[in-house]
Amino acid sequence: MFGRRGMKSRTRIEPRLDWRDAGGDDLRADPADRPAWARSAKSAKTARGRKGLGRPRRSSLGRLFYWTFVLGVWGVIGLAGLVAYEASQLPPIDQLAVPKRPPNIAILADDGALIANRGDTGGAAVRLIDLPPYLPKAFVAIEDRRFYEHFGIDPVGISRAIMRDLTGKGGLEGGSTLTQQLAKNLFLTQERTLSRKTQEAILALWLERRYSKDQILELYLNRVYFGSGAYGVEAASQKYFGKSARLVTLSEAALLAGLMKSPTRLAPNHNLAGANERAAQVITAMAEQGHITEAMAKMALANPAQIWRDKSAGSINYAADYVMDALDDTVGASFDGDFTSPASSAASDRLSNRALLPKYFCDAASTP
């Protein structure tokens, strides 16, 4: 039907409020009382809701990203606070200095041959340029393969060490670079705490800023502990091979580098088999990283290092003790740095009985 204005009228449907009869208090309209177009719209909305079941998942990912970001920001803030606190516990940067290496006293025979070393380190310091190239490369290969690439801290190495620690593959690793190990040896104790590791990282950054990579590597080789009372690569070479580090073979260099894992346990004068097993790992790593050729690696693996046994140590010690007594009377503690007696001219000029001492050394050294 049409109304007065010529438009078709619609039958008005009033909602039924029969809540009393239903026994409840639901005042919503009965679905059957809704117009057809309203029911169609609701059905379409329900269908769209069913099709969009993935939206809550996207929302969960968004929340996860948000909270990850928030936690990351707070983690950075916490780390910055920790670094700032630990830095405040160290001496001011402008007052930091590498501690002087304890002097070594090299006692020579009349012909210039080394009789003994005396001092806290057990050997003299050596320059990196005087060592065979494969010796420092052995340390880089097994201890810090990205030494010439990182800035004192190696995030890649730390991440790898954490993953290996969590998965239990290969035993526990610290992820420390050569620079961090040097910082620990120069300034810190051997305790394994978060505080010490943080200070170690700060000092490593300072070392990288102040010294070149080669200078850091030279300091490292002259300061680290090699077991059996030997500090520095020269002292270790004299202790285990009876010769200077300038003359070591590839297999001997690999053995020295391998001692860094556990100097006391792997000291070759007590555990030669263990030291050579570790040296084989060093040689393999050097070949894989291109520091040596495959032929050099095979030759070194076929000829493992042998330990030198000093049969005349007792006689040599008598001569060395004699020189130390003479130095106390003539030189005292006035020298700074490594000292050679009596073959060097500086020492000979200061020793009053310089003609007698060399002859005594030779006689004592030849005594069975």
Query: What pLDDT is attached to residue 58?
Result: 54
| 278: pLDDT strictly greater than 70 | yes
CA distance 357 to 354: 6
N residues, the chain: 368
pLDDT in tens, 43-85: 655 655 555 544 555 577 777 777 777 777 777 777 666 666 6
Query: What pLDDT is attached to residue 225?
Result: 93
All residues at 6 or more sequence positions from 281 whose CB lies less than 8 Å from its CB, including other chains: 142, 258
Which of 223, 221, 235, 231 has the alpha carbon at shortest distance from 116?
235
CA distance 347 to 340: 7
All residues at 6 or more sequence positions from 199 whose CB lies less than 8 Å from its CB, including other chains: 86, 87, 89, 90, 187, 188
Kindly write down the DSSP assignment for every residue of 173-225, as one continuous string: -----HHHHHHHHHH--S---HHHHHHHHHHHHHHHHHS-HHHHHHHHHHHSB
- pLDDT band at residue 223 using 50, 70 and 90 as cut-offs: very high
The structural domains of the chain, with segments of one domain joined by +, span: 102-131+312-368, 132-302
CA distance 125 to 115: 17
Q: Calculate the alpha carbon distances from 53 to 50, 58, 65, 118, 194 in Å.
A: 6, 10, 20, 80, 47
pTM of the model: 0.66
| 4: pLDDT strictly greater than 70 | no
Query: What pLDDT is attached to residue 249?
Result: 96
Mean pLDDT along residues 10-27:
57
Q: Are 122 and 231 in contact (CB under 8 A)?
A: yes
CA distance 103 to 347: 14
**Between 156 and 315, where is the model more confident?**
156
All residues at 6 or more sequence positions from 184 whose CB lies less than 8 Å from its CB, including other chains: 176, 190, 196, 200
CATH of domain 132-302: 1.10.3810.10
pLDDT in tens, 201-221: 889 999 999 999 999 999 999
CA distance 153 to 157: 9
Query: What pLDDT is attached to residue 105?
Result: 74
65 exposure class (CB count in 10 Å sphere: 0-12, 13-18, 19+): exposed
Place of tokens 């690999």: 254
